[in-house]
Amino acid sequence: MKPTVRPDPFGGELAPPRTPPTARPATDPAKRPPPAPRPGARARRLRPLVPYALLAPALLVLAAILGFPLYRLVSLSFQRYGLRELIAGKGTFIGLQNYRDILGDPFFWTVVARTVVFAAVCVGLTMALGTLVALLLRNLARPMRVLVTAGLVAAWAMPTLTAVSIWQWLFDFEFGIVNWLLTRLGVAGYEQHNWFDQPLQGFAVIVMVVVWAALPFVAITLHAGLTQVPAELEEAARVDGAGAFQVFRHITFPMLKPIFLILATLSTIWDFKVFTQIWVLLNQRPSRDYFLLGIWSYSESFGVTRYGKGAAIAVVMVVLLMVLTAFYVRQMLKAVGP
Amino acid sequence: MTRRRLARAGYNTAAVLVLLATVFPIYWMVATGFKRGVDILSFEPKWLPIPGTLENYRTAIGKPYFLQDVVNSVVVVVATVLVSLALAFLAALAAARFRFRGRAALIVMLIVVQMVPLEALIIPIYLMLDGAGQTDRLAGIIVTYLTFVLPFSIWTLRGFIVNIPEELEEAAMVDGCTRAGAFRRILFPLVAPGLVATAVFSFIQVWNDYLIAYVLLRSPEKQTLGIWLASFTTNHGTQWGGVMAGSTLFAIPAVVFFLLVQRRVVTGLTAGAVKG
């Protein structure tokens, strides 16, 4: 880090001028008591240390609770660490064996593909529907707009666990209102229909829970962004004969592109590691058909006590997520500036 | 003109659909919580909870360990928020107000660290706490929550402090205030809303957690309210009234706090703060 050109606001420039040392009355150096440290001298010497002192507590705690577990995660992934090792408190180094195991397991590729597709569907739906709702909000008269926004905020505020139990109840096989509605609409086969029998249908419900909870944030943020787009630009395009879609494609979208990118990356981060929704919706016993990377890692470690393998899966998950979000990190660093 | 009116009708219809999709699930939860058992378990849905009952709430509150779990949740949340706020405030002050060697590295680290999913760290954290005999203890879980609340809080608070002009403090010092005095009299009151907002963000995150409490807390008298609620849900097909009453109770604190800071969330999340 280069030394700053900006004056330190708490630096010496603003401090009251101190008496220069020559102003001291001259006395016989032999009889003089040992010089008392001048006020401020010590403080000035210590000043460069102040930021480090302020940072120290937080950094120490972070090193202990984040740095060390990260290191442990990686080292665990190179170890056999089962029940016996848990009791002994020490794993056995086995090199890349865990990674060879998972990469050689066809199930691994199924889970990776499933996780990526699941996240892509959730992000795609959230972004598409969120955009539509944001555009809709702009076209509503004020009372209606306030009403819809209030609804969005209410859904947004729901804790994940609450949202999960609500949707579990809506999709209950016996008394759930969704089955009732479908039956009422004349769709055959939805009386006493269990949505989680077939993974594809089960995932449809899970996607719905995720999108329902994520959509308000995207819609409200995009709507806030839309209000910044000058109406004249869009009007001009319309006068030139552009259709609604073309206006969006060539005027609105490019202007909101930074917001879109940030929202899409944030959604990717959130949807890639979905755990609670699946775990609780399936009563804490999801079958292997419902495993995503996070759940698989969890069940390898805590279900069948193969912590080493579970850690290897977690490392793969972190690496994948890092790759997917590298872009976002770059954007943020740019925003913070050098 | 008719075309215009048609468009307006179309927009309003869409708005009503969006409103239904967002609000109906919540309404259904609240309504079910007040319904009698026979009205919940009926093949023909009852749209209004009339005649209503408080029986479900009595069931939910009367479930074993409810009050104990409320106390646990409050202890865990308050301790996590206070510790992280104190540590984060000092660190954010350094990151926002001082130039020092390693500042850039610190900011990069704060951003990257927030990308590490806690879901992946739960294994080593569990083993560490297990080795230290701290699983199934509130202290262990408080420390674990700090892993994600602390980086996030430093980041958010830094944003708040950066937005307060340094000139205000400089002016105070020209007028004879000491450096510490300028912090206390000028910066602190101005950053107080930021502190409150950060505390509320942290509160919501910790309150809403499920995975960590589920892994770390085993005995029912040590659990937090989220686990209590999820264990309720496993009684599949029964007691939907109790589940919905419990879910409502669980949601109330989160909703109240969320409404306090909702406006800041949009700017906060898009301007830098990351996890939700």
Chain segment A58-70, per-residue pLDDT in tens? 999 999 888 999 9
Backbone φ, ψ for residue A128 (5° rounding): -65, -50
Partner A contacted by B4 (CB < 8 A): no
| Contact: B210, A310; criterion CB under 8 Å | no
Cβ distance of B251 and A167 shorter than 8 Å = no
Residue pLDDT, tens place only, A203-235: 999 999 999 999 999 999 899 888 888 888 888
Helix (H) or strand (E) holding A310: helix A307-336
Q: Cα separation of B258 and A28, whole Å?
A: 71
What's the gap in Å between the CA of B157 and the closest CA on chain A?
13
Least confident of A29-43, A83-97, B95-109: A29-43
Q: How far apart are CA A32 and CA A40, in angstroms?
A: 21
Nearest Cβ partner for B120 among A139, A314, A325: A314
Q: According to the model, what pLDDT value does residue A17 have?
A: 38
Distance from CA of B184 to the nearest CA of A (A): 14
**Are the beta carbons of A76 and B124 separated by less than 8 Å?**
yes
Q: At what angle do helices A307-336 and A68-76 cross, to 10 degrees?
A: 140
Predicted local confidence at residue A213, as pLDDT: 93
Whether the CB of B265 is below 8 Å from some CB of chain A: the reply is yes
The conformation of residue A292, written as its DSSP 8-state character, comes to -
Q: Using the predicted structure, report yes or no on whether residue B95 has a pLDDT greater than 50.
A: yes
pLDDT band, residue A22 (cuts 50/70/90): very low
Residue A1 has pLDDT above 50, yes or no: no
Least confident of A204-218, B31-45, B202-216: B31-45
pLDDT greater than 80 at residue A33: no
For chain A, the domain total comes to: 1
Q: How far is A41 from chain B (nearest CA, A)?
A: 15
Is A317–B144 a contact, with Cβ atoms under 8 angstroms apart? no
Q: Is the pLDDT of residue A8 over 50?
A: no
Please state the rounded mean pLDDT for residues A240-256.
Answer: 88
pLDDT above 80: residue B96: yes
**Which chain A residues contact residue B14 at CB under 8 A?**
136
Contact B122 A298 (CB under 8 A): yes
Is residue B260 over pLDDT 90?
Answer: no
3-state secondary structure of A295: helix
DSSP letters, A24-65, are SPP--TTTSPPPPPPTTHHHHHHGGGHHHHHHHHHHHHHIII
Distance CA A290, CA A199 (A): 7
Q: Distance between CA atoms of A327 and A333, rounded to whole angstroms?
A: 10
Query: How much is the mean pLDDT over chain B?
Result: 85
Q: So what's the pLDDT on residue A32?
A: 53
Q: Does the pLDDT value for residue B270 go beyond 60?
A: no
| Closest-CA distance of chain B to residue A219, Å | 11
- Give the confidence band of A38 by pLDDT, cuts at 50, 70, 90: low
Rounded Cα distance, A310 and A73, in Å = 9
Average pLDDT (B180-197) is: 86
CA of A35 vs chain B CAs: smallest distance (Å): 25
pLDDT in tens, A274-320: 999 999 888 888 999 999 999 999 999 998 889 999 999 999 999 99
pLDDT band at B156 (very low <50, low <70, confident <90, very high): confident
**How large is the average pLDDT for residues B180-203?**
87
User: Taking the alpha carbons of B223, B257, A332, A222 in that order, is the dihedral positive or negative?
Assistant: positive
Domain at B65-235+248-271, CATH class: mainly alpha
Amino acid at A9: P
Q: Angle of helix A199-226 relative to helix A106-138, nearest 10 degrees?
A: 40
Cβ within 8 Å, pair A62-B150 = yes
- Residues of chain A with Cβ-Cβ distance to B275 below 8 Å are 269
CB contact under 8 A, A9 and B108: no
Q: Phi/psi of residue A323, each to 5°?
A: -60, -45
Is B102 within 8 Å of A1 when comparing Cβ atoms? yes
CB distance B251–A139 less than 8 Å?
A: no
Vertex A128, ends A126 and A131: CA angle to 5°? Answer: 100
**Would an 8 Å CB–CB cutoff place B67 in contact with chain A?**
no
Closest residue of chain A to B225, computed from CA coordinates? A161
The HSE-up count of residue B130 (CA atoms within 13 Å, CB side) is 18
Contact A57, B90 (CB under 8 A): yes
Q: What is the mean pLDDT of residues B241-254?
A: 91
pLDDT at residue B185 in the model: 86
Would you place residue A6 in the very low, low, confident or very high pLDDT band (cuts 50, 70, 90)? very low
Mean pLDDT, rounded, for B32-42: 86
Query: For chain B, how big is the Rg over CA atoms in Å?
Result: 24
Provide the ipTM.
0.84
φ, ψ of residue A80 in degrees (nearest 5): -85, 125
- Could you identify the residue written with the tokens 């264990």? B231
Residue B235 has pLDDT above 80, yes or no: no
Nearest to B123 among A59, A266, A301 (CB): A301
User: Would you list the domain boundaries of chain B?
Assistant: 2-53, 65-235+248-271
CB under 8 Å to B134, separation ≥6 — which residues?
A: B140, B143
Given an 8 Å threshold on Cβ–Cβ distance, is A160 in contact with B208?
yes
Residue A51 to residue B98, Cβ atoms within 8 A? yes
Comparing C-alpha atoms, which of B189, B151, B59 is closest to residue A63? B151
Inter-chain CB proximity A165 and B182 less than 8 Å: no
> A185-194, B87-96, B229-238: which range is least confident on average?
B229-238
Q: Round to whole Å and give the CA distance between B225 and B230.
A: 9
Q: Best residue in B6, B18, B141, B249 to probe A by mutation, most A CBs within 10 Å?
A: B18
- Asked if the structure places residue A5 within a domain, the reply is no
pLDDT score, position A299 = 92
Helix/strand/coil (H/E/C) assignment for every residue in A113-161: HHHHHHHHHHHHHHHHHHHHHHHHHHCCCHHHHHHHHHHHHHHHHCCHH
- Chain B residues within an 8 Å CB radius of A267: none
pLDDT at A41: 66
Give residue for tokens 């890692």: A297
- Tell me, what's the pLDDT at B163? 83
Contact B258 A180 (CB under 8 A): no
The answer to whether A160 and A276 are in contact (CB under 8 A) is yes
Q: Which residue of B has its CA nearest to A168?
A: B233
Task: State residue B268's pLDDT score.
Answer: 52
Give me the CATH number covering residue A106.
1.10.3720.10
Confidence of residue A90 (pLDDT cuts 50, 70, 90): confident
Cα Rg of chain A, angstroms: 30
N-term to C-term CA, chain B:
45
pTM of the predicted model over 0.90: no
Interface of B with A in 92-151 (CB under 8 A): 93-95, 97-104, 106-108, 111-113, 115-117, 119-128, 130-131, 143-144, 146-147, 150-151
pLDDT at position A16 is 37
User: What mean pLDDT, rounded, does chain A reach?
Assistant: 83
Residue A74 counted as domain residue: no
Closest CA to B144 of B127, B157, B156: B127
CA distance readout (Å), B268 to A24, A47, A142, A153: 55, 32, 26, 16
Q: A328 lies in which domain range?
A: 99-336
CA distance B251 to chain A (A): 6
What is the pLDDT at residue A266? 83
**The residue count for chain A:** 338
Residues of A in contact with B234 (CB under 8 A): 283-284
Q: Which structure tokens are listed for A194?
A: 């269990």
Q: Whose CA is closest to A209, among A121, A324, A292? A: A121
The answer for A7, left when phi > 0, alpha when psi is -120 to 50, beta otherwise, is beta
Mean pLDDT of B92-108: 87
**What are the residues whose beta carbons fall under 8 Å from the beta carbon of A161, sequence distance 6 or more?**
A276, A280, B208, B210, B226, B229, B230, B247, B250
How deeply is A187 buried, as exposed, middle or buried, from its count of CB atoms within 10 A (0-12, 13-18, 19+)? exposed
Give the pLDDT of residue A14: 34
What's the burial of A194, exposed, middle or buried (CB within 10 Å: 0-12/13-18/19+)?
middle
Residue A264 lies in a domain: yes
Range A254-278 average pLDDT = 87
Residue B238 has what pLDDT? 58
Asked if A69 lies within 8 A of B147 by C-beta distance, the reply is yes
pLDDT at B98 (0 to 100):
86
Q: Of the candidates B92, B94, B104, which has an alpha carbon nearest to the alpha carbon of residue B273? A: B92
Residue A324 has pLDDT above 90, yes or no: no
What's the residue count for chain B? 276
For residue B112, the Cα-to-chain-centroid distance in whole angstroms is 21
Q: Which of A143-157, A319-333, B195-209 has the lowest mean pLDDT?
A: A319-333
